[in-house]
Amino acid sequence: MYDFSNFDAFIQSTNGRTIGNGECWDYINLIWSHLGSRYYTYPPSDPSATNHGVKWGVLNAEALAANQIQGLTYISDKTQLKRGDIVVSTDGTYGHAGFINEDWSGDKTYALYTQNYAGRRSVALDYYTLNDFGGAFRYNAWQPPVPPVRLRRGKFPWVLYARRLREKR
Can you tell me the mean pLDDT for 91-112?
93
Is residue 75 a contact partner of residue 136, using CB atoms and an 8 Å limit? yes
| CATH assignment, 7-145 | 3.90.1720.60
Kindly state the DSSP code that residue 2 receives in the 8-state scheme.
-
pLDDT confidence of residue 163: 66
What's the pTM? 0.84
pLDDT of residue 100: 97
Report yes or no: 52 and 42 within 8 Å, Cβ to Cβ: yes
* Pair 127, 120: CB distance under 8 Å: no
pLDDT at 3: 97
Is residue 17 pLDDT above 70, yes or no? yes
pLDDT digits (tens, 9 = 90+) for 41-75: 988 888 777 667 899 999 999 999 999 999 999 99
For residue range 107-159, list pLDDT tens digits in order: 889 999 999 988 899 999 999 999 999 999 999 999 877 777 776 666 666 66
| Strand 86-89, strand 72-75: pairing | unpaired
Rounded mean pLDDT, 81-99: 95
Q: What is the pLDDT averaged over residues 9-27?
A: 96
User: For residues 61 and 44, is the Cβ–Cβ distance under 8 A?
Assistant: no
**Class of residue 2 by CB neighbours under 10 A (exposed 0-12, middle 13-18, buried 19+):** middle
- Helix, strand, coil percentages in the chain from 3-state DSSP, rounded to 5: 30, 20, 50
pLDDT at 61: 94
